[in-house]
Structure 1
């Protein structure tokens, strides 16, 4: 991107050297097309470059993608029935309106009549029915079935006992309804999270082969504000505007996701080679330098949080007092202060800080307290033998698996190790890639403790990983093998209650229960930090809406 000489440009030039010193010399970032340097006043084409720390896999289908990087592409190529705004509130998407029946069991969508697929075909209710029937198909290889599983007939169809889903009804070309077996409050949230795919394309391919269709996946047809133009793995993804987008023609002509080196992306931003950088962590010196150069920094609570799971199948962690003691023993605020500074918060229950349901009171903060931790461990039958805890002749010695790839998480491991050593618990750190760590959590769990992260749902009603039954159902997300009848009852009550105020009271109780049971040590939630080109106008984001109203974003000349 070329920048005309100005006070802003002068400030950028004067700070590049200091940013290079802060972030390291050299760059392994991708080359992008030569015609992409187009944000100067001599060109009528506008371009936005968005930093991406890892390359997408190329699963450009909202029913198959399983990484943030693929999802980012899909969010721009495909449209859902309902959109989320920057406040995480619902707004019309492909559906111009929706309504629940008087018994709250049937949700009916009235679709827009002016929507075209990127190839010019009409978008209709048949596409919606096809999308959600597909995720329940027995041969479907993706992970979205839970989003539709509570619709009448979905489970039978999924199990091969029915030829269709009776609860999905196409009423006419632009009207469709979904009937649930019981009231399901998170329904709207589910429909805001999943883009619709075109029946006229994907119905021609056996669903068991969808994830192998590289030609179709790399040339996706959606209804979103941008079309995929080019994908170079490990380099970039280039999107071009959809002039016929139902939300209005985008003001940015090209949207490029550029795979970058985290060590150099800040200097690239300062030089004008990037327009938006998501900061997973940042030194205050870096932020100050960027601000001094005129770069805009925005910060909001995120939906992500980090935790330390304790395998409840291990004798060490069956006693709640032990889990509470470990939580007291870890200096969580110290971790936040030293590794995140003012850009993160301690979390005390598994509900999103960015959402509407996080309890505002009644939570134990588990402030760092070694004496309290030792007292609880003693109550649980552990005795101190020269600084090492023992019980029934067995030492309290456990392994802590640490997935690589998240610097703050990796840096927190030795702090946790030392904190627990201070109360007599020996921790052996074992690093591995994320896939290996996740594999160890399946079934009964082949691990003692593990540092993991999760993106919490926009609606906590989808937190089925805490259900006791999720273990028997084979869910790998009940990492700690947590079984608690009261928790199950509260989750069930919350998802069957429509009124949000009533639901919030229920989640307060559930959050307090989880806070007391601590199946995990809830560690911290990093804030969502974004640094962006000051010439980018209309830019917005939230924990759950990465590109709200992207068609209105504009780079001024």
Structure 2
């Protein structure tokens, strides 16, 4: 994959942090034809042309002269409302993250290798020998209400996430390595001994274990305004008006008004620490994937968070936008429910008797599907067959030499035969090993035109090897319901289709660790524990050693298959011709920040 380097990397959008961030398996996660069927079954819009992410630039071309002020219209592509948990400490879904990113941001910047720099709102001084990091917030960094962002605000964010009553999903291994955190989390201490406020703008953290992940997004870099939240019980914070209705941050734009789940109006933060934003404001609104093209053509929105790649071929020549793109920090996957989450213990509990516990059954289901065809036929090459759980967005760690299962229905049938899944009554459908009916309940998410065809393709592909797979409740699930049920380990779910946006740090423990709430499959093993621990060990500060550890981990996941990746993804963004200073994820060293976005005229350019 092409990677352009433009010098120092200055990220505008710090959405991916120490954990992998939950992302919608959206309208794009859609279907592929069953092998041998006519292309017409995909619909009249199907095209044969195959594209590549190499066809796209990462930076939009500036046209004309920017005007003073103006308002930009941003489309959040979704078939459902955003949840509205508008605080970095509490949100769980990518739609909410898209909203938050306009008004709040990380205190720390990262470079082109996802390592922290001293170019952000705060600097850091690392002492590996002492296992400490000292942070200093710049003097001109303020909250939107004018109060300074302080070291106590940053400390407060840690105290909230570590609190026994915290109901979010942030708490995990990147917090437990802080000295005194577990005692605080377990209610045995009133403070976190390893976090020290030195002065108004300076904070020091001492770690029990100092890991390579700490230097690449392993630090919780989001402050929380203590003067606003200090009197709210932690258990009530996520549902409070301060999170849902009147959120504030330290970013380039301020929340002016919210229509819950539908839209947010932002105005510029004249006191933004980098400088006054060029735009007067931003209007964010939810755009259904079925009408995103019309919204772009008529100028209703200037750009969107992501464009459905299945719609790109028919709209590649849209006259009023420029398409930019990059390899997405994401992958789509099929997950198998293998246990439960023990909230009291804070860890997964595998169930050896789970319906999907047989790895040969899981391997056969991987062999039964043709993800290469999915990428080429339905995404025109803008998604492509995935092999491991570290995507090519991290080229130094993605191991493409690992031989993962590929489409081979004969192999799938042989695996099932050998494992004892036989068609007892001759109806073409296999029973379980005891000769009882085997029905596998499949949760998949609603979305655009191709969400249903994709789910049906997988169901048909599995049926072709004798497995009866049925949609949960006989239908697709909308975004919030889907993740609520998956997270709650709904016993009706046996397998599910999801997607992850990955963090800057390659460490996968936030998704697949024994203590990771995001480990929705509830898979755990001693070998997995050991490799994940080794990946953040002292030895792993040696990059070659860490690469080897994560290569072994990728291979283990191919052997154990708690999930299997289906496709890697391109992110394609159409940007109206009037917009200046835009880059995909504002990364790869472009040196452009969100406050520098500008427009060349008051109204969006419409399509000819």
> Shared fold by TM > 0.5?
yes
Task: Report the Cα offset of residue 163 of structure 1.
Answer: 0.9
Task: Report the Cα offset of residue 140 of structure 1.
Answer: 2.6
Q: Distance in 2 between matches of 1:156 and 1:409?
A: 45
Contact 2:586 2:592 survives alignment (8 Å): no
Q: Distance in 2 between matches of 1:315 and 1:165?
A: 39
1:45-60 alignment, distance < 5 Å: 45-54=69-78, 55-60=81-86
Q: Distance in 2 between matches of 1:288 and 1:185?
A: 41
Q: Choose between structure 1 and 2 for higher RCO, CA contacts under 8 A separated by at least 6 residues.
A: 2
1:369-380 alignment, distance < 5 Å: 369-380=408-419
Q: Distance in 1 between matches of 2:142 and 2:179?
A: 30
Partner-residue secondary structure (3-state), 2:309: coil
Which position in structure 1 is the counterpart of 2:88? 62
Q: Distance in 1 between matches of 2:160 and 2:272?
A: 25
1:346-495 alignment, distance < 5 Å: 346-356=385-395, 358-383=397-422, 386=426, 387-390=428-431, 391-405=433-447, 408-430=450-472, 431=475, 432-438=477-483, 439=485, 442=488, 445-467=491-513, 469-470=514-515, 476-495=517-536
Matched, 1:532 2:578: no
Contact 1:538 1:553 survives alignment (8 Å): yes
Which position in structure 2 is the counterpart of 1:310? 336
Q: Distance in 2 between matches of 1:337 and 1:397?
A: 30
Contact 1:63 1:194 survives alignment (8 Å): no
1:163-178 alignment, distance < 5 Å: 163-178=190-205
Q: Deviations over 1:451-492 (max 9, x none)?
A: 22222332232524423x33xxxx553333323221111100
Q: Distance in 1 between matches of 2:264 and 2:164?
A: 32
1:336-351 alignment, distance < 5 Å: 336-351=375-390
Which position in structure 2 is the counterpart of 1:101? 127
1:172-191 alignment, distance < 5 Å: 172-190=199-217
Which position in structure 1 is the counterpart of 2:594? 550
Q: Which moved more, 1:401-410 or 1:518-527?
A: 401-410
Structure 2: unaligned runs, 5 residues or longer:
1-43, 46-62, 339-350, 602-608
Q: Distance in 2 between matches of 1:104 and 1:555?
A: 49
Q: Deviations over 1:121-144 (max 9, x none)?
A: 222212211222221122333222
Which position in structure 2 is the counterpart of 1:332? 371
Of the three residues 225, 228, 232, the one matched with 2:252 is: 225
Q: Distance in 1 between matches of 2:85 and 2:480?
A: 17
Partner-residue secondary structure (3-state), 2:554: helix
Q: Deviations over 1:396-427 (max 9, x none)?
A: 44222223236544321111111112222222
Partner-residue secondary structure (3-state), 2:541: coil
Partner-residue secondary structure (3-state), 1:351: coil
Contact 1:50 1:257 survives alignment (8 Å): yes
Q: Which has the higher helix share?
A: 1
Instruction: Flag the 1:537–1:84 CA change in 2: closer, same or farther, 3 A.
Output: farther
Q: Distance in 2 between matches of 1:441 and 1:362?
A: 33
Which position in structure 1 is the counterpart of 2:552? 509
Task: Report the Cα offset of residue 86 of structure 1.
Answer: 7.4
Q: Deviations over 1:343-379 (max 9, x none)?
A: 1122222223323554333312422111222222233
Instruction: Flag the 1:310–1:200 CA change in 2: closer, same or farther, 3 A.
Output: closer
Aligned residue-pair number: 514
Q: Distance in 1 between matches of 2:361 and 2:595?
A: 52
Q: Which moved more, 1:433-442 or 1:416-425?
A: 433-442
Contact 1:389 1:424 survives alignment (8 Å): yes
Task: Report the Cα offset of residue 331 of structure 1.
Answer: 1.1
1:183-332 alignment, distance < 5 Å: 183-190=210-217, 194-214=221-241, 217-277=244-304, 278-290=306-318, 293-312=319-338, 313=351, 314=353, 317-332=356-371
Q: Which moved more, 1:500-509 or 1:159-168?
A: 500-509
Contact 2:388 2:404 survives alignment (8 Å): no
Q: Which runs of 4+ in 1 moved over 6 A?
A: 39-43, 543-548
Q: Which moved more, 1:150-159 or 1:51-60?
A: 51-60
Instruction: Flag the 1:449–1:119 CA change in 2: closer, same or farther, 3 A.
Output: closer
Matched, 1:143 2:169: yes
Task: Report the Cα offset of residue 540 of structure 1.
Answer: 1.4
Q: Give the TM-score of the pair, scaled to structure 2.
A: 0.77
Contact 1:281 1:408 survives alignment (8 Å): no
Instruction: Flag the 1:81–1:332 CA change in 2: closer, same or farther, 3 A.
Output: same
Matched, 1:519 2:562: yes
Q: Which moved more, 1:360-369 or 1:164-173?
A: 360-369
Instruction: Flag the 1:258–1:446 CA change in 2: closer, same or farther, 3 A.
Output: closer
Which position in structure 2 is the counterpart of 1:33? none
Partner-residue secondary structure (3-state), 2:279: coil
Partner-residue secondary structure (3-state), 1:326: helix
Partner-residue secondary structure (3-state), 1:527: strand
Q: Distance in 2 between matches of 1:420 and 1:58?
A: 37
Structure 1: unaligned runs, 5 residues or longer:
1-20, 23-38
Of the three residues 107, 124, 129, the one matched with 1:81 is: 107
Q: Distance in 1 between matches of 2:394 and 2:66?
A: 44
Which position in structure 2 is the counterpart of 1:34? none
Q: Distance in 2 between matches of 1:346 and 1:553?
A: 35
Q: Deviations over 1:323-348 (max 9, x none)?
A: 22221111111222232222112222
Contact 2:392 2:398 survives alignment (8 Å): no
Q: Distance in 2 between matches of 1:232 and 1:194?
A: 28
Q: Which moved more, 1:353-362 or 1:199-208?
A: 353-362
Which position in structure 2 is the counterpart of 1:29? none
Partner-residue secondary structure (3-state), 1:82: coil
Q: Cα RMSD (Å) of the superposition?
A: 3.1
